[in-house]
Structure 1
């Protein structure tokens, strides 16, 4: 049977009260009978508990997250598997029970945070993320429901490693949870591997919502919202916010992960700069694709070969000469008449057009072959319902109305590259996609 009040897992953890139900399972308030302390117990759904590969990855993640020691991260105490009244083995995770309120509940009650509290929350969350990023972990589901605020203002980040374990598991009939659509990074929505910069993007969305009282992107379904994260620019933040605050969020929400802050710590440092009244620092950008490569100097053998082909003597590399007081006139450059320059310009334009046309022909032919040989992908979005949240527990609310009244929706896709292939159909051919909204039982 399913977990219920009074059930004891592994003869140690007695379930007392259901806190929340999410896409992966249920979170219970329980008691560790051996140590006599209250804990939070996440019991996985049978479809995950019976998946050997997922359970192994989940077990490894639990061990790794348990080693993270930071006041901003809800601690992991134990992991176990036990028989559930003849229904097979059930995996569970025992976590710290935090006396705090999830940020989504705070936003629902207050509309938005004050500037001081919002920046404090963002910096604390960034510092907590940095601990995981340093350990090689990516949260992959940063959202208000996973950020708890204690009565003293301490931030506690929860559900570390869970989304990563799901993403690494093979796709099942019910699909794969990619993350919460309202907070998902563009690269995650496209099926690419999430990185620390993906967590920073999601935290930027949380910051946008906390500062403005609304999410940057909303829509009729998870797929629509995810596509907006991929293609659209967020609406401007309220004009009453300081310019450096608006600039901070704008940097964090750029589509290219290489142009964001690379980790939670870098983002937290930027928040600290803004809190002190300075502009946010620009992220360290990786070399852009398409930058000209250094010109290679031909070797002596290459020069001799070129001389044999052209009949000219090979040119020797110029050696640097010490500076003198005399000035040598540079050799005259060859020049072209205006007519010659016009002919060269026209030839260059025609050559470029020919290359573009050839590429388009190849791409169109490939696109026709793909449409003929492959069936259209199926996309399923799922809205997960939850039970009311108690402010005395650490569990997130997987689905709850945000400050703008829109419910959080988990994005499930049947293939990693399905959204990438759907991009070409976003405009006129969007109706060709097979999309549906389902509510799990």
Structure 2
């Protein structure tokens, strides 16, 4: 048994021989309070975590603290309230009430009888209502994150949740949920909202009633197409006629067509749990048919493959997230740091006293970029010399075999064996102008040239922080 003291001053123990599950990037063990009361302890090894994972866990602690602080006043009944947490060496320990099981397991083992399924969905909707009333978006609602505790169903795992009072997406930059549950607008890199949580609730409701999610991928590119352009299979007689129209509304592609908030869903479910009169049954059947037709009409015609413009939009949205993450890391060190973007969000910059780090995206025709998705240049400017356009490096976005888009930063250096070199300065690493980049694109993609050598690395927040350091040192 391992013993530790939490931030509340209470003493807890857990047994690493009793693994009872996984969640939020950690392993959950059976544990107990000092009086012997059983608890669950989630253990997360921070030493192996990358920056994004570390921030996710920090966020889980922050949201957990916010929920715990609100627990007494709000009387939360359907949100799992963390009991305590501690950081011991490089290990984060989160103490939680012991759960009897997850909704995912109940669905898989088909232990929910027909009469209880609507009640389960009502409790999940109540949990969302409670969470939203605190100004928190869950952002990863799924069957695995709904746990049964003392015969109640509670929302859990707040690793990528967001406090809507925050003005930035700190700690939640690239994570936006689990693919089968992700709302259409999030696939287009719009901001998460109450409506995107409601869409996930619709997916969960469909799953509870049918045993399967409405969209089944299997790859992320398949999920994106399905959520954006396809209608789910008709519920038929797998859902009560009184509830099916509500589920269809939750699954609308357009957020504006979904219910206004979780409270509206709670009220709708409460009003539809009793038996229907024959007239109500006929009306409910027509409502179900109308909502199903609306979903079919709203779904766009799938294209055989995403267009280059779609990939470019996705690429620059991802680049923006990487820059925002770097900005959030750097600001405590450089309080004067400011950021900006062009109207079309293809050019981005970070300003520090006396200097400017600029990322310039290029508009290139498809012939000149194949097989690239996009490219651009990086500039390090002293404020007194903003008119000098000598690229410090280049950026390029490529589509990886599994369909993901990946940004890299590249620099070139003159080969010492070539007497004449016109690509840039011979005495240092540099980037290429747009015209030179296009002219040399095939050699760049193959890293094949006898006039220069090229270095290439993945563009992430650490690289951007190095660039800021280079700028400050100019």
Match for residue 217 of structure 1 among 188, 199, 215: 215
1:203-227 per-position Cα deviation (integer Å, ceiling 9, x unaligned): 1111111212222111332442243
**Where does structure 2 lack aligned partners over 5 or more consecutive residues?**
164-168, 292-362, 377-395, 408-474
Q: Which residue of 2 aligns with 1:245?
A: 243
1:8 aligns with 2:14: no
2:161 aligns to what SS in structure 1? helix
**Partner of residue 255 from structure 1, selected from 233, 253, 256:** 253
2:80 alignment counterpart: 74
For 1:206 and 1:380, how far apart are their aligned partners in 2?
31
Question: Cα gap change, 1:129/1:62 in structure 2, threshold over 3 Å: closer, same or farther?
Answer: same
Q: What is residue 101 of structure 1 aligned with on the other side?
A: 101
- 1:275 corresponds to which residue? 273
The residue aligned with 2:375 is 373
Other-structure match for 1:129: 128
Deviations 1:141-181 (A, max 9, x none): 111112234574x222222x32226974276xxxx543211
TM-score, with structure 1 as normaliser: 0.56
Q: In the alignment, is the contact (CA less than 8 A) between 1:54 and 1:168 conserved in 2?
A: no
How far does the alpha carbon of each residue in 1:285-312 deviate from its partner, in whole angstroms, 9 at most, with x for none?
xxxxxxxxxxxxxxxxxxxxxxxxxxxx
From 177, 182, 191, the counterpart of 2:180? 182
- Alignment-derived partner of residue 39 in structure 2: 39
What does 1:106-255 align with in structure 2 at a 5 Å threshold? 106-110=106-110, 113-149=112-148, 152=151, 154-159=152-157, 161-164=158-161, 168-169=170-171, 176-239=174-237, 241-255=239-253
SS at match of 1:244: coil
1:82 and 1:91 in contact (8 A); partners too: yes
Deviation at 1:235, TM superposition (A): 1.0
RMSD over aligned CA atoms reads 3.6
Look up the SS of the partner of 1:261 in the other structure: coil
1:79-98, aligned counterparts within 5 Å? 79-83=85-89, 89-98=90-99
Separation in 1 of the partners of 2:62 and 2:125?
24
Shift in alpha-carbon separation, 1:148–1:52, aligned structure 2, 3 A? closer
* Residue matched to 1:21: 22
Q: 1:49 to 1:262 in 2, by over 3 A?
A: farther
Does the C-alpha gap of structure 1 residues 92 and 194 become closer, same or farther in structure 2, counting only changes over 3 Å?
farther
- Cα distance between partner residues in 2 of 1:256 and 1:379: 30
For 2:406 and 2:76, locate their aligned partners in 1 and report how far apart those are by CA, in whole Å. 36
- Give the deviation of 1:254 after TM superposition: 0.4
Structure showing the higher strand proportion among its residues: 2
Q: Does 1:60 align with 2:62?
A: yes
Instruction: Give me the whole-angstrom Cα distance separating, in 1, the residues matched to 2:118 and 2:21.
Output: 28
Task: Give 3-state SS (helix, strand or coil) of 1:110's partner.
Answer: coil
What is the alpha-carbon distance in structure 2 between the residues aligned to residue 117 and residue 139 of structure 1? 24
Contact kept in structure 2, 1:62 and 1:93, CA below 8 Å? no
Asked if the contact 2:161–2:172 (Cα under 8 Å) also holds between the matched residues in 1, the reply is no
Contact 1:49 1:91 in 2 (8 A): no
> What is the TM-score with the length of structure 2 in the denominator?
0.53
Q: Determine helix, strand or coil for the equivalent of 1:15.
A: strand
Aligned residues: 287
Displacement of 1:41 in angstroms is 1.6
Cα distance in 2 for partners of 1:379, 1:78 equals 42
Shift of the alpha carbon at 1:197? 1.5
> Structure 1, residues 240-277: CA drift from partner, whole Å, max 9, x if none?
64433221111010011222123221111111222244
8 Å Cα contact 2:136-2:162 kept in structure 1: no
| 8 Å CA contact 1:62, 1:79 repeated in 2 | no
Structural mapping, 1:276-291, within 5 Å: 276=274, 277=276
Structure 1 unaligned segments of length 5 or more: list them. 1-5, 84-88, 284-364, 382-410, 416-441
Q: Could you tell me how far apart the structure 1 residues matched to 2:231 and 2:2 are?
A: 49
Question: Helix, strand or coil for the counterpart of 2:160?
Answer: helix
Match of residue 354 from structure 1: none
Relative to structure 1, is the Cα distance of residues 412 and 24 closer, same or farther in structure 2, using a 3 angstrom cutoff? farther
Structure number with bigger Rg = 1
Q: Is the 8 A contact 2:64 2:81 kept in 1?
A: no
SS in 2 for 1:73: coil
Secondary structure of residue in 2 paired with 1:179: coil
Aligned to 2:460: none
Residues 178, 412 of structure 1: 8 Å contact kept: no
Distance in 1, matches of 2:365 and 2:4, equals 54
Distance 1:75 1:53 in 2: 20
